[in-house]
Structure 1
Amino acid sequence: MDFRVIVDPQFGATYADQLAVAQAAEDLGFSAFFRSDHYLAPGVAGLPGPTDSWVTLGALARETTKIRLGTMVTSITFRYPGPLAITVAQVDEMSTGRIELGIGAGWLEDEHRAYGIPFPTLGERFDRLAEQLGILTGLWSTPIGETFDYQGSYYTLTDSPALPKPLQRPHPPIIVGGMGAKRTPALAAQFAGEFNLPGLAQPDAAAAQLQRVAEAVAAAGRPAESMVYSAVFALCIGRDDKEVARRADPVRQLIPGVTDISPLVGTPGQVVDRCGALSELGIQRVYTWLFDMSDLEQLELFAASVMPHLP
Structure 2
Amino acid sequence: MMRLGLALPHYPFSFPEPAEEPVARRALAYAQLAESLGFHQVWVSDHLFVNVAPADQAEQRQAPAECWTLLAAVAATTARIRLGSLATPVGFRNPALFARMVANVDQLCTGRLDVTLGAGWHEAEYRESGLAYGSAAERVAALADTMQGLRLECPGVPRWVGGKRPKLIQIAATADGWNTAWSCTPARYEHQLEELTQACRQRGRDPDTVRRSVGLTTLIGRDADDLANQWRRLQHWAPSGALDNMQLREWARSRLVGTPLEIRSQLNDWHRLGVEQVVCSFGAPFAVFDEDQIRLASEIINS
Is the structural similarity TM-score above 0.5?
yes
In the alignment, structure 1 residue 195 sits paired with structure 2 residue 187: no
In the alignment, structure 1 residue 246 sits paired with structure 2 residue 260: no
In the alignment, structure 1 residue 284 sits paired with structure 2 residue 276: yes
**Compared with structure 1, are the counterparts of its residues 100 and 259 closer, same or farther at alpha carbon in structure 2 (3 Å cutoff)?**
farther
- The 5-angstrom pairing of residues 152-167 of structure 1 reads none
Q: For 1:231-285, what per-residue CA distance to the aligned partner results, in whole angstroms no more than 9, with x for missing partners?
A: 1100211221333313542458558899433442222222122222222333221
Larger mean Cα displacement after TM superposition, 126-135 or 198-207? 198-207
> What is the alpha-carbon root mean square deviation over aligned residues?
2.4
Mapped partners of 2:61, 2:25: distance in 1: 15
Mapped partners of 1:64, 1:12: distance in 2: 24
Among the aligned pairs, what percent are the same residue? 30
The alpha-carbon deviation at position 174 of structure 1 amounts to: 0.8
247, 261, 267: which one aligns with 1:269:
261
Name the structure 2 match of 1:296. Answer: 291
Answer yes or no: is the 8 Å Cα contact 2:234–2:289 preserved in 1. Answer: no
Unaligned runs of 5+ in 1: 141-169
Answer yes or no: is the 8 Å Cα contact 2:182–2:215 preserved in 1. Answer: yes
Q: For 1:280-305, what per-residue CA distance to the aligned partner results, in whole angstroms no more than 9, with x for missing partners?
A: 3332210011344463221111111x
Name the structure 2 match of 1:173. Answer: 158
Answer yes or no: is the 8 Å Cα contact 1:18–1:293 preserved in 2. Answer: no
Q: For 1:56-89, what per-residue CA distance to the aligned partner results, in whole angstroms no more than 9, with x for missing partners?
A: 1111111111111110001111111111100000
Answer yes or no: is the 8 Å Cα contact 1:33–1:69 preserved in 2. Answer: yes
The letter for the 1-side match of 2:26 is D
Answer yes or no: is the 8 Å Cα contact 2:38–2:302 preserved in 1. Answer: no
Unaligned runs of 5+ in 2: 15-22, 54-59
Mapped partners of 1:19, 1:269: distance in 2: 30
The letter for the 2-side match of 1:178 is G
Name the structure 2 match of 1:24. Answer: 33
In the alignment, structure 1 residue 68 sits paired with structure 2 residue 82: yes
In the alignment, structure 1 residue 186 sits paired with structure 2 residue 170: yes
The letter for the 2-side match of 1:243 is N
The letter for the 2-side match of 1:187 is I
The alpha-carbon deviation at position 177 of structure 1 amounts to: 2.4
Name the structure 2 match of 1:106. Answer: 120
Q: For 1:74-109, what per-residue CA distance to the aligned partner results, in whole angstroms no more than 9, with x for missing partners?
A: 111111111110000001001111111000101011
Bigger relative contact order, structure 1 or 2 (CA pairs below 8 A, ≥6 apart):
2
Name the structure 1 match of 2:19. Answer: none
Answer yes or no: is the 8 Å Cα contact 1:24–1:296 preserved in 2. Answer: no
Answer yes or no: is the 8 Å Cα contact 2:147–2:159 preserved in 1. Answer: no
The letter for the 1-side match of 2:6 is V
Aligned length: 276
Mapped partners of 2:220, 2:276: distance in 1: 20
TM-score (norm 2): 0.82
The alpha-carbon deviation at position 4 of structure 1 amounts to: 0.6
Mapped partners of 1:307, 1:92: distance in 2: 26
In the alignment, structure 1 residue 7 sits paired with structure 2 residue 8: yes
The alpha-carbon deviation at position 203 of structure 1 amounts to: 4.1
**Compared with structure 1, are the counterparts of its residues 120 and 224 closer, same or farther at alpha carbon in structure 2 (3 Å cutoff)?**
closer
In the alignment, structure 1 residue 78 sits paired with structure 2 residue 92: yes
Mapped partners of 1:247, 1:76: distance in 2: 37
Mapped partners of 2:136, 2:11: distance in 1: 23
145, 149, 158: which one aligns with 1:135:
149
Partner SS state of residue 275, structure 1: helix
Name the structure 1 match of 2:140. Answer: 126
